[in-house]
Amino acid sequence: MELIEQRAKTHGDFALTAERAARLQDATRVRIDEPPVMRHAREMICVKLARIASGDPMHADHWRDIAGYATLVAAALALGEKNPEPCVTGFCADPLACKDGPCLRRSKGADRG
């Protein structure tokens, strides 16, 4: 119970935050064929924005998380520009052979080639 009380201070009331996040997610849905990586990042950014609106807007982790999700999508898009055929993430043709940048399907620290 203590953890829930602590999170309520930074994240806001759970039900209110969930409602706000759902509305933001609905409002920002742009495409039916949105790649999974982009969709997940967009939805998580909406959750973080809802936490900012419902909880403590001065909680730096909310802002860092938004920046992190946006950076992951930007990296995936940059990779997709170099490899236009979609893969599981929707951005690269052959993530195991990709030597041009980070691939979201590869595990951290994996040999690049």
Quick check: is 87 in a domain? no
- Across the chain, mean pLDDT equals 80
* Contact assessment for residue 12 and residue 55, using Cβ atoms and an 8 Å cutoff: yes
When divided into structural domains, the chain yields a total of: 1
How far, in Å, are 1, 49, 85 from residue 43 at the CA level? 27, 10, 24
Phi, psi values for residue 23, rounded to 5°: -65, -40
| pLDDT one-digit tens code per residue, 33-61 | 788 888 999 999 999 999 999 999 999 99
Quick check: is 107 in a domain? no
Quick check: is 108 in a domain? no
Q: Which residue has the higher pLDDT, 37 or 97?
A: 37
Q: Which residue has the higher pLDDT, 24 or 102?
A: 24
Q: Which helix (H) or strand (E) holds 40?
A: helix 36-54
What is the domain range of residue 66? Answer: 2-82
How many whole angstroms separate alpha carbon 6 and alpha carbon 93?
A: 44
Quick check: is 49 in a domain? yes
For residue 79, which of 106, 101, 52 has the smallest C-alpha distance? 101
Which tokens sit at 68?
Answer: 């992190």
Quick check: is 99 in a domain? no
